Amino acid sequence: MDIKAYIQERVEELESEFVKLRRHLHVHPELSFEEENTMNFISEQLNQMDIPHETNVGGFGVVGLIKGKNPDSKTIALRADMDALPIQEQNDTDYISQKPGVMHACGHDVHTTNLLGAARILQELKEHFEGTIKLIFQPAEEKIPGGASMMIKEGVMENPHVSTIIGQHVFPEMEVGKVGFKAGTYMASTDEIYITVKGKGGHGALPNTTVDTVLVASHIVVALQQIVSRRANPLMPSVITIGKFMGEGATNIIPNEVKLEGTLRTFDELWRLQAKQLIKDLVEGIGRSMGAEVDLRIKHGYPALENNEDLTHQAIEWAQMYLGEENVELIPLRMTAEDFAYYTQLVPACFYRLGTSNRSAGISSPLHTPTFDIDESAMKIGVGLMTWLAIKQLGN
C-alpha cells in the first residue's frame, strides 16, 4: 500500500469535513482553563472514530490512543492545544466567534482540527503501521502554568511511555502550502512581570506635595530596557517589555498607585535567573531613591523550547518527501513562547510551523489580533503532514 498516496487522497476527500470542524470550534471558543465544551466536542469526535480516550486530563485535556500492530513496540505522541484568547473578533465571516470578547486568534481551533483529522486517517491506517500513537488535546496553552505542565503531572507522557512528540502551529507569516522547521533552540522562555508603585497622590499642580507614582513608574519602564542593552550578553537574544501601564489619575490628579505588567523573554536559563534579580534590584532601587514603595512579582513561566536536532532533521526530510523540498523552509529563532517546551524537556520533540496566509486573498493578519484568520486549505497540509510524520516516526 502506498501510504503517502492514501493520506494525500484522504485529505482531499475530507477537506470539507475539516473546514466544518474548524468553523464549529471557531464559533465556540473557550478561554484557558474553561475548555469543557471543547473537551466534550473532541470526545464526541473520537467516539465516532472508535478511538479510546480519557477526558479531564490536566483540567479539560483529552488523551486518545491509536494502536497499530505490535502496539507495545513504540509510542509516539501528537499534540494540539485548544484554548482561545480574550480578544473581540472583528472578522466579517459566517463563522465569527459567537462569544463576546473571546476568539481563536492563535489558531488553536486549527490545531485541534488538524489533530482530529490526523486521528481519523491514522485510525483507518492502524493495520498498516506498528506501534501506538498517543493523541494529546491540551488545554490552557495561553496561560501560565500552562496545560502542558498540568497534563505532564497527571502522567500524559506515560502509560504507555512516549518516546517522541510532535506539535504544529499556524504561521501567518508563511504562505499556505509551506511549512517551517528549526532544529535546536527555537522559542524563548517566558516570565510575567507585575509591578505596583505606591506613593502619595495629590493635585497635579502641586507635585511637590506628592510622591509621583507616574514619574516613578516611567523611570522604571525606561530603566528596565537598560538591563537588556547593557547587562545582557548581546549574543543572547533577550526582551523585557512592559505592555500595561495603569494609573487611575486625571489631567490634574497624580494617583496613589500605578501598576505595570510585562514580560521577560530569553533562551538561557542562567541569564534568566540573573535578569530576574536585576529587575528586582532596579525597581526597588528606583522606588527607594524616589520615595516610593514598589512591590514586584515575577511569575515563572515556560522554559525555552528545544527541538531535538536528530528528530527535527528527520522530520524535515519526511516533510520534503510529503510536500516537496520547495515547500519546506528553515526558519529562525522566535521570541514568542510555547508551553510545548515542557514536553521538549522530557523526550525528543519537534515543533514546526504551518503556513496559513494567502495575501492575494487578503488573509495575512498576525496572531493575537482581532482580524486573524487562515486560508482553510492549509488544513489539508496540516492534517496530511501530521499523519505522515506520525507514521514515519514509528519506522513505517
Taking the domains of the chain in order of start, what are their residue ranges? 3-186+304-393, 189-299
The strand ranges marked E within 82-199 are 132-138, 164-175, 179-181, 184-187, 189-198
How crowded is the C-beta side of 371, counted as CA atoms within 13 Å? 7
Residue 288: predicted pLDDT: 97
Q: Does domain 3-186+304-393 have CATH number 3.40.630.10?
A: yes
The average pLDDT across 77-86 equals 98
Nearest to 232 by CA among 274, 177, 182: 274
The average pLDDT across 233-240 equals 95
- Whether 126 has a pLDDT exceeding 80, the answer reads yes
Residue 352 belongs to what H/E stretch?
A: strand 349-357
Residue 165: band (very low, low, confident or very high) from pLDDT cuts 50, 70, 90: very high
CATH top class, domain 189-299 = alpha beta
The percentage of the chain sitting over the pLDDT mark of 90, rounded to a whole number, equals 99
Calculate the alpha carbon distances from 10 to 64, 112, 117, 129, 377 in Å. 21, 18, 10, 17, 14
Q: What is the DSSP letter of 179?
A: E
Residue 249 belongs to what H/E stretch?
A: none
Please tell me the total number of residues recorded for the chain in this structure.
396
pTM: 0.95
The average pLDDT across 331-353 equals 98
- Whether 396 has a pLDDT exceeding 80, the answer reads no
Using only the alpha carbons of the chain, give its radius of gyration: 23
Residue 176: predicted pLDDT: 98
- Whether 1 has a pLDDT exceeding 90, the answer reads no
Catalytically active residues are 83, 141
- Whether 395 has a pLDDT exceeding 90, the answer reads no
- Whether 327 has a pLDDT exceeding 80, the answer reads yes
The percentage of the chain sitting over the pLDDT mark of 70, rounded to a whole number, equals 100
